[in-house]
Amino acid sequence: MLYLASKSPRRKEILEMIGIEFELLKNSFDESSISLLSPKNFVLAVSFQKAKSVVDQVEDGFILGVDTIGYFHEEFLFKPKDKIDAIKTLSKLRNDRHAVFSGLTVLKVKNYEIVDSVRTFAKTKVFFGDFSDDLINKYVESGKSLDKAASYGIQDEGSLFVKKINGCFYNVMGLPVYELNVALKEIGYFK
């Protein structure tokens, strides 16, 4: 059985879409306890800690931990603190590009102990076009920006900001499916 250590409805949606059976476990890990390293190392560290935080709930199986952030001119773009923060983030991303990093950890657990682990990451470049302040305000007022890294969702009206991407679409949503497939094969989830 695969256990998803996440509160993200988008990760749940992606796993359901690709037909992987899983159970949801809410992790209790506080991301702010990790120092801001490089974006790659940060998401790898957080994804590992999220997965590790639920090991005591899994007797046997595989645990998936994932973390996604935006990164813009050496600035980490987490979920916005509030609507004002979301407006500021979207305004500065306009007519520019940023990167979305996801770290992914799969733990193999036997008798509540980690017996194997695989960690990987994905990076997608996202290019924003030009758009009005009205569009930003309307999107932020909808509330959809508040629970997403970099203040937008590529799968909802936030897609109106996106001119093009270079990399995995699902990574921008929060779960890079190709990297997930490779990690699950490597750890023995897929026979």
Reported confidence tier of residue 34, pLDDT bands at 50, 70, 90: confident
Q: Which residues are catalytic?
A: 67
Number of folded domains that form the chain: 1
Phi–psi pair at 75, nearest 5 degrees: -120, 130
Q: Is residue 150 pLDDT above 80, yes or no?
A: yes
| Enclosing domain of residue 60 | 2-187
Model pTM score: 0.94
Tokens 């569009």 -> residue: 135
Give the start-end residues of each E strand in the chain: 2-5, 22-25, 60-72, 75-77, 97-110, 113-128, 162-166
Q: Is residue 32 pLDDT above 80, yes or no?
A: no
How many CA atoms lie less than 13 Å away from 189 in the CB half-sphere? 26
CATH number of the domain enclosing 60: 3.90.950.10
65-90 tens-digit pLDDT: 999 999 999 999 999 999 999 999 99
